[in-house]
Every structure is written in C-alpha cells, then in structure tokens.
Amino acid sequence: MQIVALILWMIVFTKKLFLWVWLWQLKEYHIGRFKAHFHTEKGKKLIRTKIVFLKLFVLIGLFFRTILFSYLTVIVFFGEALFVFFALFRKKLLMPVITKKTFLILCVGIIFEIVFGSLLVLSPIAQRFFYHCLITLDLLAPLFVSGLVLSVEPIAISWRKKIIAKATDKRNKFKDLIVVGITGSYGKTSTKEFLADILSEKFRVLRTKEHQNSEVGISQCILNDLSKSHQIFVCEMGAYNQGGIKLLTDIAKPKIGILTGINQQHLATFGSLESIIKTKYELIESLPPDGLAVFNGNNQYCRDLFEKTKISKKMTNRDIWAEDIEVGKDFISFKVLTKSSQSKFKINLLGKHWIDNILMAILVAQEMGMSLEEISMACRKIKPLKRGMELIKIKGFNIVDATYSANPDGVLAHLDYLKVWKGKKAIVMPCLIELGPEADAVHKRIGEEIANVCDLAIITTKDYFDSIKRGAIEKGMQEKRILFLERSQDIFKKLKSFNGREDVILLESRVPKELYRAFELL
C-alpha cells in the first residue's frame, strides 16, 4: 500500500510543482507580485481549499497510529490524482512555458521527488512516519516550490547580467541608431505598435516583441534581432520597482522618450503612487540633452512632469492635439493640429481613447521628418491590435474583446466606447489586481461608470465586487443588474438576450475562456 501511496503522491506533487512554477512565471518571478496574488480571492482559494483542511485532519489522525488514517491518506491522494488525469485529458492543467529557468526548476523538483520517495521506502526510521511525510510535504508544496524558485535566482541573476552586458555592448556599436523608449502605466504596447507601423513606411524599424519589455526581453531583442539595417528601435519599457526603467535605458539608450500615462496600476508592488511616478520619469531623466520627451497631455501626472521637465530643461513645446472627433463602431476619425499644420485622420480602431496614443506617435514621426499627410496615409493601414480591443461577431452577438489586460483608465475608456452602440450593453470583467490601497476607490469609480453605460454587469471575481456594486447602485443601477458570477454557463445564461443588432457585450480582462466556447456552440 505504501508504494501505491507514493506513486499517487508523486502524481499530485508533480502537478503542484508545475502549478506553482507557472504562477511564479506568470508574476515574472517578482516577489511583490507573487505575494499580492494571495490578497485576491483566487489566490486565497489556492491555499484555503477543502482538500487542504481534509489533509490536515488526516495528518492529525495519523498520530493516533490507526490503520484507518493510513487508508484515508491513500484514498485522498487517489481522488486528487484522478482530478489530475481528468484535468490533463481536458487540457486544463496549468503549465509554465518551458524556458531554461523553468526547465532547471522543474528538473530539480522532480529529482527531489525521486530522492525523497527513495528515502521513505529505504529508511527504517522514515517508514514509521511514511504517511505523515507524504501529507506534510504535500501541504508545504507552495513553500517548497517557492524556495526552489528563489534558490535558483542567483543563477538566473548571473545569467541575466551576462545577457544585459552582451546586449549593452552590442547596442553601443550602433552609433547612428535612434531609440524610442516608451513607458507608462498603460498604453505602452499600443503606442509602440502604432509608432512602429507609421515609421515603417519610411524607415527600417525594429520593435520589441510581445512580453519583451523587461531587461532580459529588451536585451534578447537587441542580441537576436537588431542588425545594421535598422535605423530606428522602438522599445517598450516596463518595471515594477524604482530603478527598473533606469536599468532599461542604460541598455537601450533612448534619444526619444514617450510617457503614455500614469495611474494606480501595480501600486501594490511599487508601494506608492509617488514611487510609480518617479520610476516612469526615469525614462525622461535618461534622455540626452538633444533628446525629445513626449508626454500625454490628457493625463494629470504627465502634465505635472511636463511642467517639471520644461522648467528644468527649458524644453521647447511641440504641442499636438485633435479636434472634430467622430467615433464609430469600428473606426475613429479626427483632425490633427499642430502649431504649423493640420490633417484629417481616419483609423480602424475602436474608441477615442486610442487618439492619445496616436498623437504621441504622430509627434515622434514628425520629429523623424515625416509629414502629417505621410503619417495620415500610414495610419490608414493600422488595424485593431490582436491583444488590444477588437470587435468580434459570434453567432449574432457583438462582442468587444478587451481580454488581454486591464487597468483603471483602460476599463473606463472601453466603457466609454460602448456609448456608440444604441442597444443593450453588458460588461463581463474580473476585479483589477495590484492596485494596493487605491483598489476600493478605483473599483467604486468603475462601478459608477458601469451604471452610466451598462444595462448589465457581471463581475467574475469577488475581491472588490462590493466596491463596484456600491458605486453602481449609488449612481442608480438596480441591484439585480450587477452580479457576481464565476461559472461560464451561468454568465452565458445572463447574456443570451444581448443578441440584438445594436446590443453589445464587453469582455474585459481575463474572463473565463469557456465563455467564448459557449457563444460559438449556441
């Protein structure tokens, strides 16, 4: 029976090894982000499950030396192993992306399992506490895997330093390369894509790929993709701590910096809004004396930093703005004006919130010698970002897919876009994460805007559901119109009536994947 129990334990423990490595990788091995996850309902559910309490009960019972609890240990692991195979069959196991780092961590973890199991079987002393050891280590799996991840970190840091040094050395050889650094709490990726698309009409442009906004990602982009043919490098920059952006600028050495906007996103990891502002401003501070700093004038924090920069560096204003804005269901049109020129733009994007990003891209393109007319022609080729905000029609439903990521300003902008539609409007979204002490106020504000726009709101996580609900009700939304639902089947039942020609459903941030399947199978 012990051999059976050991095999079942190894199946269950291996699944947990993959799960916790996946979570660490998802949080980019950042301790602050990893810890913040356990302040969410999903995070709490990972460690406060019925099976955990059952195992604690069995562990206590094992100390009474009755055969019943030994059998119960086997039964518990057998049931859990069945769930592992069931999840594997349905392709629902959470697996990390295999990289050098995850491969090393997983190999060490599996070797430990084998050694641990062998010691339990071969050691007479361990035999006395065989089942105790299995359950104890199973319960400690989160701590064990976290310790394993952190123990590998010195190796990862050493490797990271080598990658950065090689990338920095290579970058220094490209004396004529113009680098555009882009940072902010939101809008980094879209601004990068818009700018790269526009500049590509006239220049040979390299851009960072998806998820390449860290020191390793940017370094790998330089090492693997940068060539002598490139004239411009458009570089997205992200960070979770002060000094993070400075490190990226030391690698890429931007001459032009774009600050897209600042809000409370990742406040839990930065610690304060002041820390976020200082970190984002590191990009502007890194620019050379003849560099160009571009600020989003519609963001209060950016305006404040612009005034600070203008005073300290005696910058010349290159103002750009939009007028005659028209928002359609699948396009935006507007007139772009500068102090010396103007031009009409029409772009196949959803929502007027993209205009800020486009304007910043236009300003930089002008700095590179492109005329407004050339830029306008280039913008006609811009398509909705696959990981931005798309209008999808599924079996008669109008679905706005904004499921890539979410931040407070983005959610409010997406809700504003829904006003274009004349029919019923619904939003499905989880609560936002890593907002720290600002979370309650942010979610209440979202609730208020939901009440102004939507006929139905479905919130898929419980963390700040009460805050959203309170804000919505205070603005006059009926309580029955704002719901907390987790299961895709329940969500779909509530949305089935939103299939009119002018009805629209906004899917915001990470909603259940099965929801799409429900629409497709209708």
Residue range 250-255: mean pLDDT, rounded: 96
Tokens of 114: 């084998």
Residue with the bigger pLDDT between 50 and 164: it is 164
Q: pLDDT of 145-171, one tens digit each?
A: 999 999 998 988 899 999 999 999 999
Q: Confirm whether 149 is domain-assigned.
A: yes
Residues 74 and 8 in one domain: yes
Residues 178 and 313 in one domain: yes
**pTM of the entire structure?**
0.83
Residues 368 and 458 in one domain: no
Domain boundary, last residue among 154, 189, 211 = 154
Lowest-confidence pick of 30-34, 336-340, 404-408, 422-426: 404-408
C-alpha dihedral (476, 479, 480, 481), degrees to nearest 10: 50
Q: Confirm whether 162 is domain-assigned.
A: no
CATH code where residue 236 lies: 3.40.1190.10
Residues 372 and 424 in one domain: no
User: Is residue 312 pLDDT above 70, yes or no?
Assistant: no
Please work out, in degrees rounded to the nearest 5, the angle formed at the alpha carbon of residue 371 by the alpha carbons of 365 and 375: 60
Q: Confirm whether 169 is domain-assigned.
A: no
Residues 289 and 314 in one domain: yes
pLDDT, residue 522, reads 56
C-alpha dihedral (250, 255, 261, 264), degrees to nearest 10: 10
Q: Within a 10 A sphere around the Cβ of 85, how many other Cβ atoms?
A: 12
Q: pLDDT of 165-216, one tens digit each?
A: 999 999 999 999 999 999 999 999 999 999 999 999 999 999 999 889 999 9
Q: Confirm whether 160 is domain-assigned.
A: no
pLDDT, residue 514, reads 76
pLDDT, residue 319, reads 83
Q: pLDDT of 385-433, one tens digit each?
A: 766 788 888 888 999 988 877 789 889 999 999 999 999 999 999 999 8
Domain boundary, last residue among 92, 123, 154 = 154
Q: What is the number of domains present in the chain?
A: 3
User: Is residue 315 pLDDT above 60, yes or no?
Assistant: no
Residues 19 and 146 in one domain: yes
User: Is residue 82 pLDDT above 80, yes or no?
Assistant: yes
Residue range 343-357: mean pLDDT, rounded: 92
Q: Confirm whether 167 is domain-assigned.
A: no
DSSP 407: -
Q: What is the rounded CA–CA span in Å between residue 52 and residue 46?
A: 9
Domain boundary, last residue among 124, 154, 184 = 154
Residues 117 and 182 in one domain: no
Q: Confirm whether 482 is domain-assigned.
A: yes
What percent of the chain has a predicted confidence (pLDDT) above 70? 97
Domain ranges, residue 126: 2-154
Contacts 24+ apart (CB under 8 A), 336-345: 336/362, 336/372, 336/376, 338/366, 338/372, 341/371, 341/372, 342/372, 343/372, 343/373, 343/375, 343/376, 344/376, 345/376, 345/379
Distance of CA 260 to the CA centre of its chain: 17
Q: Are 296 and 188 in contact (CB under 8 A)?
A: no
Q: What is the rounded CA–CA span in Å between residue 57 and residue 59?
A: 5
